[in-house]
Structure 1
Amino acid sequence: MMPTVKITPKQLFVIMVLFELGSAVVVGLGTEAKQDAWIAILLGMIGGIGLFYIYGLLFNRYPDLPLSIYAQKILGKWPGKIIACLYSIYFLYIGARVLRDFGELIVTSALSETPLLVVNILIIVIIIYGCILGIEVIGRSAEIFFMIFMALGLIFIVLIFVSNQFKIENLQPVLGEGWMPVLQTAYPSVLTFPFGEMVVFTMFLPFLNKPNTGLKTGMYAILFSGFIITTTVIVQVGVIGVHQAANSTFPLLDTVGKINIQDIIQRLDPIAILILMIGGFFKIIIFLFASTISLSSAVSIRNFHILAIFIACLTLGTSLLIEDNYLQHIQIGLDVVPNYIHPPFQIGIPLLLLLVMLVKKRRARKRGT
């Protein structure tokens, strides 16, 4: 049974921003465009706003229902249930990929002697606890962690410039290879990750206590997070250069590692990991919560907590089994997932639902009903 609690537009906004930043600031986003990665991110952000507008149109027609339920009203009971199951699997799979990202981050940078299994279990236990507490508690927690995330991020940027590590020439020449590499990077790679992943919030918009603010809140969140991601990429490329940013496992950690002020303020990697884990926690928990909501819309299991624990355990297992090593994981995550897995769920199915809804609405008007 789906939870019936409500959250405020402010809480939804901070959850969306933390979700968007999540793994987007961990991996090297848009590096295929080299020094023009920041332009590709801005273009992808514009496309993401367009996608969220589609989700908003569907939500405005069914303000009390998640996508997994109004798909059944638009397409019929059984086609809708199949779509709900597919979205549950999709959210579970992407959540498992994010869990793998952050498990590898901790193992590689902080706990090199600790097995990945142990780290992922610890993360998933916290995720399960958050799911049991519910979306209202998640929203209140997001308000607190959002301020910590932004404050620490701002401090890092200031320290980078104070330590004279930023080199503007690393960002030149602008559009040195023309628009084509930028456009090919923006669409579909940056569009689908991270901006298209906002499709997950079609499961959360019904929790809003002011439904009429849903579309506006989502668009503001995309704009704000897009600005933060663009700034992060500009700083990364400006500090460590295009080549290292493109080939580094965790370019943000390499960037923070360059901070050195009078040999006093340095080695700030642990604090950077803390920032990244805040975003990672909210990204994973949102995917798992959405997967649970979607599956509960298709099956007759009424105990939401039991279903959430089941989804979390599947996510843990999937995170460990999807790839043999982290390099393969990153390659598939940046090449295969954005081109073949994201588009049907972020673009194809929502467009199909919108078109069918509009056709039915037009027919109903013709019949005078």
Structure 2
Amino acid sequence: MGTVKLSSKQLFSIMVLFELGSSIVVGLGMEARQDAWITILLGMSGGFLLFLIYASLFKGYPDLPLSEYAQKILGKWPGKIIAILYSFYFIYIGARVLRDFGELIVTSTLSQTPLFVINLLISVIILYGGLLGIEVIGRSAEIFFAIVMSLGVVFIGLILVSNLFHIENLLPVLEDGWSPVLKTAFPLVLTFPFGEMVVFTMFLPFLYEKSEGQKIGMYAILLSGIILTITIIFQIGVMGAFQAASSTFPLLDTVGKINIQDIIQRLDPIAILILMIGGFIKIIVFLFGSAISLSTAFSIKRWKTLTVIITCAALVTSILIERNYLEHIQVGLNVVPYYLHLPFQVGIPLLLFLVMHVKQWRAQK
């Protein structure tokens, strides 16, 4: 992996598609109803602060992923334990994203197909991409990025032309005050999707222009936050806050309402294509992050074997984690942000950040 390199444009494309990933599928921040778009802006602000911590660690160890510099900061064995924990964390979150997209396909398109079969087919594509390497994924992301942005603009134009958007659905602003907005933004929207950028602590060392790492991450968070905000505004503007919040996949329902003279209609398959592109990037980044964490921490040379094992583990986990999609969503909203995301996205990086700077201060003294 030492010879792998990513250009600034490739890493930026991967980051934006990763951030959109599954967050654009579910109704992000809909617990705040018509103020959901405010929660995204607040969560994005917190995401900037988190990425500054990740970038500071990267500047301290520009040639190492988190799994390696954790050993230098905390010691060999505590660092290895952290590397193992991050590997399992990335597999689990990747499996949750895989479950999201498997359920999306089953619900919207292939209702008679078992979930396992859908997830297996997605996993085969993920495995193929993983075996090709991150450089191939980076080049693919550049193409996918252009496709997703172009189709997104087209959908917005079609919604406006169809006169589906009603600004009054976004009113009144802050009807119940700031309390529900802040409770939704922190930690839910902060950790999903913005805090998930912690996985890129494994990828930043492979950047050609290492000095660009912080800037690329901040720009990616900004653009993805703006896109998510616009998406939520249009979902609420088209369907209303109550219907958007109760919808399983509000983006599909929004796009499904487009109808121009009974000619341009039923655009759901194109929307699913956009969603699957983001899902593919997000899953493969998490599984790559897991593989990097284990391989660098324990000097594992059999990269392809490790990739196969991790992909199979994510596939099995995606089926076994919950009994149904409703339970899957409830765990994702009420358990994962507090007991997994906060420790791995905030707690451990903040600990490493503080210990690193204390050591640097002592060295200067």
Question: Helix, strand or coil: the match of 2:335?
Answer: helix
Structure 2 partner of 1:78: 77
TM-score by length of 1: 0.98
How many Å apart are 1:300 and its aligned residue? 4.5
How many Å apart are 1:3 and its aligned residue? 4.6
Q: 1:255 and 1:110 mapped to 2: Cα distance?
A: 16
Q: How does 1:82-231 map to 2 (within 5 A)?
A: 82-231=81-230
Structure 1 partner of 2:35: 36
Letter in 2 for 1:143: E
Residues 279-332 of structure 1: per-residue CA shift (max 9 Å, x gap): 000000000000001111333431111101100000000000000001110111
Q: 1:224 and 1:4 mapped to 2: Cα distance?
A: 29
Question: Helix, strand or coil: the match of 1:263?
Answer: coil
Residues 93-130 of structure 1: per-residue CA shift (max 9 Å, x gap): 00000000001101110111111111111111111111
Structure 2 partner of 1:45: 44
Letter in 1 for 2:84: C
TM-score by length of 2: 0.99
How many Å apart are 1:246 and its aligned residue? 1.0
Q: 1:158 and 1:337 mapped to 2: Cα distance?
A: 36
Structure 2 partner of 1:27: 26
Q: 2:352 and 2:55 mapped to 1: Cα distance?
A: 12
How many Å apart are 1:153 and its aligned residue? 1.0
Structure 1 partner of 2:68: 69
Structure 1 partner of 2:361: 362
Question: Helix, strand or coil: the match of 2:297?
Answer: coil
The question of 1:286 aligning with 2:298 is answered no
CA-atom RMSD in angstroms:
0.8
Structure 1 partner of 2:346: 347
The question of 1:312 aligning with 2:345 is answered no
Q: 2:299 and 2:13 mapped to 1: Cα distance?
A: 32
Q: 1:337 and 1:80 mapped to 2: Cα distance?
A: 23
Structure 1 partner of 2:251: 252
Letter in 2 for 1:315: A
Q: Contact (CA 8 Å) 1:66, 1:206: kept in 2 or not?
A: yes
Question: Helix, strand or coil: the match of 2:240?
Answer: helix
Q: 1:342 and 1:285 mapped to 2: Cα distance?
A: 19
How many Å apart are 1:32 and its aligned residue? 1.1
Gaps of 5+ in 2: none
Letter in 1 for 2:87: S
Identity rate of aligned residues, in percent?
73
Q: 1:183 and 1:106 mapped to 2: Cα distance?
A: 32
Q: 1:166 and 1:51 mapped to 2: Cα distance?
A: 34
Gaps of 5+ in 1: none
Q: 2:29 and 2:256 mapped to 1: Cα distance?
A: 21
Q: 1:191 and 1:211 mapped to 2: Cα distance?
A: 26
Q: 1:355 and 1:301 mapped to 2: Cα distance?
A: 29
Q: 1:332 and 1:158 mapped to 2: Cα distance?
A: 36
Q: 1:293 and 1:228 mapped to 2: Cα distance?
A: 29
